[in-house]
Structure 1
């Protein structure tokens, strides 16, 4: 195949297509096809969240250290919860890939593989596609890779991209025609991975990054905005992912808060929010503002992420929330170690519903009030009611469970995040 650049004409086409038509995809939870009980689903989600949080904490320390020297060590995630179905190439082949708001690169496994993990679909073979083209080192997408993540000894752009959980992909940066739902998009830049490792791939062929960097799908499309609406945890129904003109909120109840940019260049892909306080019931918790502050080295702050199932709070904030719930919930505390959560109450089957205090996250300019089903999980078989939150290191994460039946809009052009309650399976 001839070497070509991602031309200005293609970029304009991508922008016009996404702005005029919009793209609609369906997010499917990685556990949707498994015949698991609610307890089993929740336990898997707890383990997945802990792995994601642990990898963030360990890699963030390395990233903030690297940012003060000459080494570039961008941080990305791979432990995620949702997949999408796309098609790639001409003629196209169907692939199931991970949708990740915590990373940028769009990539998939490519034949012939030097080292590849197992996937349910056929591995994409660029030699069988009429629309595959390698990208040269001088292309803007290649140059957007940190110098430590690209090899430009020759004309072709060779890349290496790693994740916090030690997953990685390496191969050639290229362009190809992608089909998203009913929309065909030519010239999408992607990583054609010849050596790949993906922890807990759950039947995926690669990753579509939706983060803030230039390599992500939303950046390449020039869409300006995208949204999702996550259906209730444990349901088999899929959740809509909307890109471009289809991503809009309706109704007067929508609220907005600014998206915050991390000052550390190695953390610039993540979506940060300015969390200023938390209320439980009518009590505004006495949490110092410094607990949620985004520090000059890129540590701290609050990330919103659909791929992290359960919200994780910095230690001091988590302890304050846990103690306040324990104080306000009129139920005996019980051992919930089998669930993976720290705070559980005894709630036997047939017991009358107790009074659950409301939970509100106070962001800059917006209050996100959660319904009880978004932060309390009832395990009928175990007779338990548990607070569905976990403790993290210095960075807090607003997870997908807390975003159930909430339409969340990422307005990249306006640099804001908006949200409103919604019935996601009807959106």
Structure 2
């Protein structure tokens, strides 16, 4: 499994295209477990649990489109944290950044149902720049579920079973020293469950309400450090700051595809997988996006570990087992017992996308602690954040391309 979820401190949408968007902006992301003292094994299993949970609930959402389908926000939904501010006068916020969703929202007073958060809950009555949006707003009409009172009242749920309900409004969003006015966001009054160290979510997905769409940003990039490196931040970059530095290697580029049944996510066309020099015998249609919306491969910051379609995963697992030749800790996942033996010297894994090859060194797919070697890949079809570590990844939204290059993310 792989997955990435980012946490950001202020969840907002730009409601007015006439507002002045931040053209060049850099923000540091902090992993949610960075302030903990978990062992390598504990970090891996926490990431594995988050990935399984998010993937399971995404599947439930895709098979249950009823507006009566409800879910709650849970404590292990996020991966990375970002600090921002909201309102006039401003207050600090902390939020989950998610490339698989579109809404920007934060918890609001009065709270009908709110989870514990590390900063004061935003109170719109104390801000001079808060303004509810009417139901006639294009952003309101773009939501899947809303009603009119006469303000736009929204309901939004996520693939990892999170949800929020409240009023869609506009506010001032602050990134460090840079302010953006009239940003549309969800003022959430009913948010069930808990969310680790966050106040809500910032969507970076492909929909009209996401942060990148509302700010009119044509490209953004990130370079993720390993969640095993607890004190190192990961850069999230917008505008010209998002450009890749090619000095560390040749840039690879592949088309971003879209699934009309799951329009928020960024899909990639995965053709095959190699381990070392061996191209694995995976059937060409294994990772194809089908006409009914099934299949396909997503690149997702909200999923910690990479997942592969079962038919492809079984072949990858068989090849890895033949190379490692160590006893498994259990049969349910690729976790090997090292005992007193040396860590196996694993070859690179290469993901062959349409027109591009993403090379994953051993450290990007094997996690080693004192007595175990764990493979961070399992069943599904999602390119998670652990496999994306130390790769600078650029989303060219205007050109519909995803580009990437190896990088030392801690030095960007």
**TM over 0.5: same fold?**
yes
Contact 1:263 1:296 in 2 (8 A): no
Q: 1:379-403 CA distances to partner (integer Å, 9 max, x unpaired)?
A: 21xx2222211112xxx00000001
What displacement does 1:80 show? 2.8
What displacement does 1:168 show? 1.4
Partner of 1:360: 350
Partner of 2:270: 275
Given candidates 143, 146, 149, the residue that maps to 1:150 is 146
Partner of 2:214: 220
Partner of 2:388: 403
Partner of 2:7: none
Q: Secondary structure at the match of 1:58?
A: helix
TM-score normalised by structure 2 residue count: 0.91
Q: Secondary structure at the match of 1:53?
A: helix
Q: Secondary structure at the match of 2:18?
A: helix
5 Å-filtered alignment, 1:195-206, equals 195-198=190-193, 200-206=194-200
CA distance in 2, matches of 1:353, 1:276: 30
1:255 maps onto 2:252 in alignment: yes
Q: Which segments of structure 1 move beyond 3 Å, counting only runs of 4 or more?
A: 71-78, 351-354
Q: Secondary structure at the match of 2:226?
A: coil
What displacement does 1:243 show? 1.7
Q: Secondary structure at the match of 1:34?
A: coil
Q: 1:111-152 CA distances to partner (integer Å, 9 max, x unpaired)?
A: 111111111110001111111111111111111112xx1102
Contact 2:390 2:409 in 1 (8 A): yes
Given candidates 309, 315, 318, the residue that maps to 2:310 is 315
5 Å-filtered alignment, 1:407-418, equals 407-418=392-403
1:231 maps onto 2:225 in alignment: yes
Q: 1:162-193 CA distances to partner (integer Å, 9 max, x unpaired)?
A: 12343211111000001012211111100011
Partner of 1:12: 18
Contact 1:77 1:102 in 2 (8 A): no
What displacement does 1:261 show? 0.9
Partner of 2:101: 103
Given candidates 86, 89, 98, the residue that maps to 1:88 is 86
5 Å-filtered alignment, 1:50-69, equals 50-63=52-65
Partner of 1:178: 173
Partner of 1:343: 334
CA distance in 2, matches of 1:246, 1:55: 34
Partner of 1:3: none
Q: Secondary structure at the match of 2:57?
A: helix
Given candidates 239, 243, 254, the residue that maps to 1:244 is 239
Partner of 2:4: none
Q: 1:4-24 CA distances to partner (integer Å, 9 max, x unpaired)?
A: xx999x41333xx323xx121
Contact 1:77 1:164 in 2 (8 A): no
Given candidates 373, 376, 382, the residue that maps to 1:385 is 373
Deviates more, 1:189-198 or 1:362-371: 189-198
CA distance in 1, matches of 2:389, 2:319: 23
Contact 2:102 2:207 in 1 (8 A): yes
Q: 1:347-378 CA distances to partner (integer Å, 9 max, x unpaired)?
A: 245x4453312210000000001011000111
1:211 maps onto 2:211 in alignment: no
Q: Secondary structure at the match of 2:17?
A: helix
TM-score normalised by structure 1 residue count: 0.88
Contact 1:81 1:309 in 2 (8 A): yes
> What count of residue pairs does the alignment treat as equivalent?
395
What displacement does 1:289 show? 1.8
Partner of 2:155: 160
CA distance in 2, matches of 1:40, 1:189: 38
Given candidates 116, 119, 131, the residue that maps to 2:117 is 119
What displacement does 1:203 show? 1.7
